[in-house]
Amino acid sequence: MLLWTPGILNRLQKVLKIFVTYIKHQASKVKMNYREDSYYIKRVLSGNLPSYAILVEKHKNLSFTLALRIAKNHEDAEEIAQDAFLKAYNSLNSFKEESKFSTWLYKIVFNTAISKMRKKQMLSVSIDDGHIGFGTLCEFAEV
């Protein structure tokens, strides 16, 4: 019969933490081989919606990084990136392939971030000035 003393449990917990860290490190070395963006775009436009998840996975890090540089806040950057991916999905049929998808997407991320920061700044100024009313709050919340 095994006795799980606090010392053994503590050592086991440390070993598990090391193991999990090692697995995460090894997983980060694995790089998925993606096809060209146009392949996934054509699939999405023909009704294969899960292909868009691959485009999101492929471009999420740079999109988040760009949003974070502008927003300087993790929560806002996540929201901006999500909004940008949604906007890109809704406008995917207007993508002309004159430029790379990533260029088009990052422009959407940039514009979404700038718009959000402007709204946030205007809301902050309005609240600071004491001129905020219920109607103004609804406009910024886009209710």
Model pTM score: 0.66
Per-residue tokens: 37: 């963006």
Q: In this predicted model, what pLDDT tens digit does every residue of 56-109 receive, in sequence order? A: 999 999 999 999 999 999 999 999 999 999 999 999 999 998 999 999 999 999
Residue 98 is classified by DSSP as S
Q: In this predicted model, what pLDDT tens digit does every residue of 35-64 receive, in sequence order? A: 999 999 999 999 999 999 999 999 999 999
Residue 142 is classified by DSSP as T
Q: Per residue in 23-40, is it b (16+ CB within 10 Å) or e — as a string?
A: eeeeeeeeeeeeeebeeb
